[in-house]
Amino acid sequence: MSPDELRDHLLSFTGAEETFPFGPDTSVFKVGGKMFALSQLAADSLRVSLKCDPRLAEALREAHAAVIPGYHLNKRHWNTVIIDGSVPEQMVKDMIEDSYDLVVSNLPASRRRALGWQTDG
């Protein structure tokens, strides 16, 4: 996965936007004003930090050397994935979708509806 492919995939989710609150080198991808991914797309080593359920985050770290605790983030809830080909591309995409879903699921119901999410009940 190239930096452009990563960026395009991150922006393919409904309501996703790219912001630069930490400077021009760090892309922060948000939905509903909440961060679901973070990456320095121009860095020598392509990585993306993603929100993750704490139990799954630990399991992914144990299973893949390229999945490490979130860099400068709450390590219980965030993983950094080194995109070096050792983690299958579809798995990276699944982790991105899971991160997006976690963030959207915690938005107020009105914001979820605006994004086209169905609420339970």
Domain boundaries, the chain: 3-106
Q: What is the mean pLDDT of residues 12-38?
A: 95
Instruction: Decide which of 3.30.70.3040, 3.90.1150.30, 2.40.50.360, 3.40.50.1110 is the CATH code for 3-106.
Output: 3.90.1150.30
The pTM for the full model equals: 0.90
Nearest Cα to Cα of residue 35 among 58, 10, 8: 10
Strands 27-31 and 17-19, bridge-based pairing: antiparallel
Q: Residue 108 corresponds to which tokens in the numbers above?
A: 């107020």
Reported as a pLDDT band with limits 50, 70 and 90, residue 121 is: very low
pLDDT given for residue 25 in this prediction: 93
C-alpha distance from residue 90 to each of 4, 6, 93, 101 (Å): 16, 12, 5, 16
**pLDDT tens digits, 61-104:** 999 999 999 878 888 889 999 999 999 999 999 999 999 999 99
Q: How far apart are CA 120 and CA 24, in angstroms?
A: 39
Query: What percentage of the chain has pLDDT greater than the value 90?
Result: 75
Nearest Cα to Cα of residue 87 among 37, 47, 41: 47
